[in-house]
Amino acid sequence: MHRPRRGLAAIAAAAATLVALTGCVILPPPLPDAPPTSPSTVSEPTWGPTGEDVAPGLEQYYGQDVDWQACGPNWCGTVAAPMDWFGSTDDEIELAVTVAPATGERQGAILYNPGGPGASGADYVMQYADYLMHPDVREHYDLVGFDPRGVGGSTPISCYDDPRELYDWLWEIPPGDPEPLSDADLQQQLESAQWLADACLEHTGAYLEFVGTEQVASDMDLLRALLGEDKLNYLGVSYGTLIGSTYADLFPENVGRMVLDAAVAPDRSDFEGTLYQAAGFELAYGNFVADCLQRGDCPLSGTQEEALAQTRALLDRLDADPIEVADGRQLGSSAFFVAVAANLYSDLQWETLRQVIADVLAGRGESAYAEADAYYGVRPDGSFEDNSLEALIAVNCLDAPAVTDFDQVRANAAEIMAVAPTLGPDFVGLSSCAAWPFEATREPHAITAPGADPIIVIGGRNDPATPYQQAVDLAAMLESGVLISVDAEGHGQYYAPMPNPCVDEPVNEYFLTGVAPPADLDC
């Protein structure tokens, strides 16, 4: 995302491109421990290529025989794909795929993406298949997870030799103390963005240009064909909804039963996505504060307005005078902001957030850093669990042009702070994409997907990472869109930890029968 006054401020998910907190991104909160599994009863995969006619030069990909290997109760494989589906190079990449077989009589396959950009769909399905989809649907469908190009087990991108380089970029507090959003401050942010761009290009090379969402959506059509499916059945969450709508844009005739949960509007610019997200997190934090003030362990006090002012004062204080933690690091406003935002994805995380705020008010920064590190997958030794942070930034940089004019950055900042006076200052600044070595390969635009089968779009009214209005807008622009509105906290509403039959039952019915709700639903 961006570097505000000190360090990295970033929230993320989905489509915000300032820097990286998915939603889209925006990555989802941790799932519970995986349920116990038993060996698969499927002796060997029963699917194979559809054998359909494809454009010249693509036959070798659509007709390839995948070497599926048993991996626990699942099947794992590696698929070859063009590095560039749109023809600028003949190089190839690999895609990592995990298939959790249907538990009963197989009806087909459903592809799944958990968001990000940067989340590993292969890992999610490997570990959490039974938490991602209702058992009635799992009985009849293989659940298919894949690592999008650039991510994890697929041909990855990289931005460093030593993980400490990226770690220091993420959390170091820049020298000096320029006036926020001054030319000196923005120039410092530009130099930071330039370092990242140079590092990613050095370690990834030309492939860095080909990890955008339109390339990923094209990969999904390849996976559809190799699984023997005439149409793509799909469940996408957060940024996964942008992949889904992009697929519908490119291949409307191949859309099957598609559900887009916690939707991202594909016509949002870099700035518009950030503006929406800032307002979304401001709303979610206000809801958290209202709940907190009713509890005996709330570290904030007074009216809701006073508690919000206390929060802003705390962020400003950390900006001016960071807290030194036990390992020698300094907790500035950016890291604390990430710790706060990371615990607004679900009201189940609010207890943790109360404790983090209490600790920081008492001058202790360890719990806040633990939450911020966990959000980005940072281990205690400063290494990373995976390359999701690099992928998040790289994909976002290709999906929407960044604002680089300093005066426009300041004008945008004023709008953001108007809708988010408490958290907004931590959303403003120059994009981490400001010096990216490649132009955006996707131009934000409305997607109508004429002729596509019904597409269910789900939006939570209090979703911070992908605010509700984006779901409303996406469903309206799709010719076959059906909206399910949910009056609830959190990011993602289908098969959530707190079951909601109003959401789950029509989605399950759609996957099982192909019958979508005849009209929008309000849950």
Both structure tokens of 132: 């991602």
DSSP state of 377: T
Instruction: Determine contact, residues 9/3, Cβ cutoff 8 Å.
Output: yes
Q: Is 463 a residue of the active site?
A: yes
The residue annotated as part of the active site, out of 238, 333, 346, 432, is: 238
Which residues are CB-neighbours of 104 under 8 A, at least 6 positions away?
139, 140
Which residues are CB-neighbours of 220 under 8 A, at least 6 positions away?
111, 146, 232, 234, 243, 247
Q: Which residue reads 């300032």 in tokens? A: 18
In a 10 Å sphere around its CB, with 0-12 CB exposed, 13-18 middle and 19+ buried, how is residue 69 labelled? Answer: exposed
Both structure tokens of 396: 């976002």
H/E stretch holding 481 reads strand 481-489
DSSP state of 162: S
Which residue type occupies 37? Answer: T
Neighbours of 29 (CB within 10 A): 18
Which residues are CB-neighbours of 146 under 8 A, at least 6 positions away?
95, 96, 97, 98, 111, 113, 121, 122, 154, 219, 220, 223
Q: Is 301 a residue of the active site?
A: no
Which residue type occupies 201? Answer: L
DSSP state of 487: E
3-state secondary structure of 446: coil
Say if residue 518 is preceded by a cis peptide, omega within 30 of 0. no
Q: Is 238 a residue of the active site?
A: yes
3-state secondary structure of 113: strand
Of 284, 195, 46, the C-alpha closest to 292 is 284
The residue annotated as part of the active site, out of 426, 473, 491, 504, is: 491
Instruction: Determine contact, residues 324/316, Cβ cutoff 8 Å.
Output: no
Please report, for the chain, how many H helices and E strands are present, in that order: 16, 12
Of 17, 10, 13, the C-alpha closest to 337 is 10
Which residues are CB-neighbours of 451 under 8 A, at least 6 positions away?
252, 253, 479
The residue annotated as part of the active site, out of 463, 473, 480, 485, is: 463
H/E stretch holding 461 reads strand 455-462
Of 268, 227, 215, the C-alpha closest to 75 is 227
DSSP state of 28: P
Pairing of strands 232-237, 255-261: parallel
Which residues are CB-neighbours of 88 under 8 A, at least 6 positions away?
none
CA-based Rg of the chain, rounded to a whole angstrom?
Answer: 22
Catalytic residues, by residue number, are 238, 463, 491
